[in-house]
């Protein structure tokens, strides 16, 4: 009889223990969910969604004209490097894509014609000195009625002819960057140096060692990308809307995710024959690295300066006829952590009470306290990685360029951070948690 009573008590205690454990697990599972309308995510979950947060963005959505074109540099920002007198390429000092400064050495040419030119100049320079003195002497004699007019005219003609030849040869030397003064002193060079006429990047090299570079050939091409601007095409029906100073928001096809602005500084005065469009030139307000002439661009022309509160389209979700966004809510996170701490504390206290009763020793209390500290530290670490996002109802307005106008039903603080993407996944996660909670 006693054995049956003891067995019955054991079964009853086991059932109560199991029910208590199940209830505690259910409480913990429930406590992992945030308050209603709130999603709580840890750091790995946010990283997997590539979640981005930020403030509302003020944008101009009064788009009237959509346009496209390409990046260009002005004529002063592009240079073709040639040589005045052809020669053989002795050395090349740059590589394709190198950034060069104005006056930097690009290549060295050599040819016998360079030597002949300097020799001719040296001879003419020495003859000119004699002819100049002879001309001055004959002029003085003629003016004093001592010399003949014929001798004077002949000396004058010879001097003028030599002077013209001297100046011509001197100009040719300067075109080759050779010093006339050095040549007059007998310093003859068999090479000619080619220098960069502007600063920029070397886009083309059309020569190689030993090849003959003719005067009509383009040796190098240099482009100054710092002078790059946006060149748009606008069709005839929209030309009347254009004026200097208007701003254009545009994107570059080869640089996704980058949006730039440009200000119109010149409007073409004639139509392209085939497209019936005019060129619109605009200075890029803040240049980004990686912009190269010829890149395809698409833009939106704004006709006024009216700005409104906007968010990316991915930041807005719809449920039925209503629209919502998610904002960072630290208050909701504090409530969530408080609930978690209270439940964990009650659960651990119950376990401690059942296991030890009122007969726990001082050592057991010390050990339990140590475990509690470790669990508390672990809980704090996990909590520091959590972020709470609260769903807020809004009204939407105009849409343009991947952005939507946001009208707040209830005001929010100025420093409110909004989820800028993946709002759909937050909504799905929140609905999933609410469904699990009901079950």
Residue 6 pLDDT greater than 60, yes or no: no
Average pLDDT over residues 213-229: 90
Work out the number of other CB atoms within 10 angstroms of the CB of residue 294: 10
Spatial distance between the Cα atoms of 371 and 390, rounded to a whole number of angstroms: 34
Closest CA to 35 of 399, 412, 390: 390
**pLDDT for the residue 136:** 83
| Contact by Cβ (8 Å): 225, 134 | no
The residues with which 418 forms a beta bridge, in sequence order, are: 54, 327
169 inside domain: yes
**pLDDT for the residue 298:** 92
The residues with which 9 forms a beta bridge, in sequence order, are: none
Listing DSSP states for 197-264 in one string gives SSSEEEEEE---TT-EE-TTS--EEEE-GGG-EEEEEEEGGGGGG--TT-EEEEEETTSTT-EEEEEE
* Residue 257 CB contacts under 8 Å (≥ 6 apart), including other chains: none
**pLDDT for the residue 143:** 74
Q: How confident is the model at residue 156 (pLDDT cuts 50, 70, 90)?
A: confident
Q: How confident is the model at residue 431 (pLDDT cuts 50, 70, 90)?
A: confident
Spatial distance between the Cα atoms of 414 and 80, rounded to a whole number of angstroms: 54
**pLDDT for the residue 337:** 56
H helices, E strands: number in the chain: 8, 23
184 inside domain: yes
Residue 222 pLDDT greater than 90, yes or no: yes
% pLDDT > 70, the chain:
77
- In the chain, the number of structural domains is 1
pLDDT tens digits, residue range 242-276? 888 888 889 998 888 788 999 999 998 888 888 88
Residue 18 pLDDT greater than 50, yes or no: no
Listing DSSP states for 375-420 in one string gives HHHHHHHHHHT-EEEEEEEEEEEEEETTEEEEEESS---TT--EE-
* Sign of the four-CA dihedral 29, 33, 35, 37: negative
154 inside domain: yes
Whole-number average pLDDT of the chain: 80
pTM, to two decimals: 0.54
% pLDDT > 90, the chain:
35
155 inside domain: yes
Spatial distance between the Cα atoms of 339 and 351, rounded to a whole number of angstroms: 18
119 inside domain: yes
pLDDT tens digits, residue range 332-347? 776 655 555 544 444 4
* Helices 149-175 and 112-143, axial angle in degrees (round to 10): 150
Residue 395 pLDDT greater than 80, yes or no: yes
Kindly give the residue spans of alpha helices, DSSP state H, lying in 101-187: 112-143, 149-175, 180-184
74 inside domain: no
Spatial distance between the Cα atoms of 89 and 92, rounded to a whole number of angstroms: 8
Of residues 407 and 355, the one with the higher pLDDT is: 407
| Contact by Cβ (8 Å): 230, 282 | yes
SS3 of residue 14 by DSSP = helix
154 lies in which domain range?
112-188
144 inside domain: yes
Spatial distance between the Cα atoms of 298 and 66, rounded to a whole number of angstroms: 8
| Contact by Cβ (8 Å): 159, 133 | no
Closest CA to 295 of 234, 223, 238: 223
171 inside domain: yes
pLDDT tens digits, residue range 54-113? 999 988 776 568 889 999 998 889 999 999 888 999 999 999 999 999 999 999 999 999
């Amino acid at each position: 009889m006693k054995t049956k009573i003891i067995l019955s008590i054991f079964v009853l205690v086991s059932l109560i223990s199991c029910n208590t454990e199940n209830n505690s697990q259910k409480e913990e599972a429930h406590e992992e969910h945030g308050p209603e309308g709130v999603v709580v995510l840890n750091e790995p979950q946010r990283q997997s969604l590539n979640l981005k947060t930020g403030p509302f963005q003020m944008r101009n959505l009064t788009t009237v004209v959509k346009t496209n074109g390409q990046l260009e540099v002005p004529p002063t920002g592009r240079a073709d490097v040639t040589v005045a007198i052809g020669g053989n390429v002795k050395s090349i000092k740059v590589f394709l894509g190198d950034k060069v400064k104005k006056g930097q050495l690009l290549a060295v040419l050599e040819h016998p014609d360079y030597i002949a030119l300097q020799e001719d100049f040296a001879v003419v320079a020495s003859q000119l000195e004699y002819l100049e003195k002879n001309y001055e002497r004959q002029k003085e004699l003629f003016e004093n009625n001592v010399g003949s007019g014929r001798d004077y005219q002949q000396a004058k003609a010879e001097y003028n002819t030599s002077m013209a030849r001297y100046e011509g040869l001197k100009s040719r030397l300067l075109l080759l960057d050779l010093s006339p003064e050095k040549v007059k002193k007998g310093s003859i060079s068999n090479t000619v140096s080619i220098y960069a006429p502007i600063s920029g990047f070397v886009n083309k090299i059309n020569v190689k060692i030993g090849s003959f570079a003719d005067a009509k050939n383009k040796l190098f091409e240099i482009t100054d990308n710092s002078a790059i601007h946006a060149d748009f095409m606008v069709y005839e029906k929209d030309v009347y809307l254009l004026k200097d100073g208007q701003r254009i928001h545009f994107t570059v096809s080869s640089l996704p995710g980058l949006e730039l602005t440009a200000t119109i500084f010149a409007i073409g005065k004639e139509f392209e024959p085939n497209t019936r469009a005019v060129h619109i030139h605009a200075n890029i307000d803040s240049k980004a690295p990686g912009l190269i002439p010829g890149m395809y661009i698409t833009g939106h022309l704004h006709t006024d300066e009216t700005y409104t509160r906007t968010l990316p389209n991915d930041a807005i979700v719809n449920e039925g006829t209503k629209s919502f966004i998610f904002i960072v809510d630290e208050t909701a996170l504090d409530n969530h952590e408080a609930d978690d701490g209270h439940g964990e504390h009650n659960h651990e206290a119950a376990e401690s009470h059942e296991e030890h009763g009122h007969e726990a020793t001082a050592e057991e209390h010390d050990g339990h306290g140590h475990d509690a500290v470790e669990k508390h530290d672990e809980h704090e670490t996990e909590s520091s990685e959590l972020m709470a996002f609260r769903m807020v109802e809004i009204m939407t307005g105009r849409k343009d360029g991947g952005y939507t106008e946001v009208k707040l039903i209830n005001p929010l603080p100025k420093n409110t951070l909004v989820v800028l993407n993946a709002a759909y996944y937050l909504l799905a996660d929140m609905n999933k948690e609410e469904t699990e909670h009901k079950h």
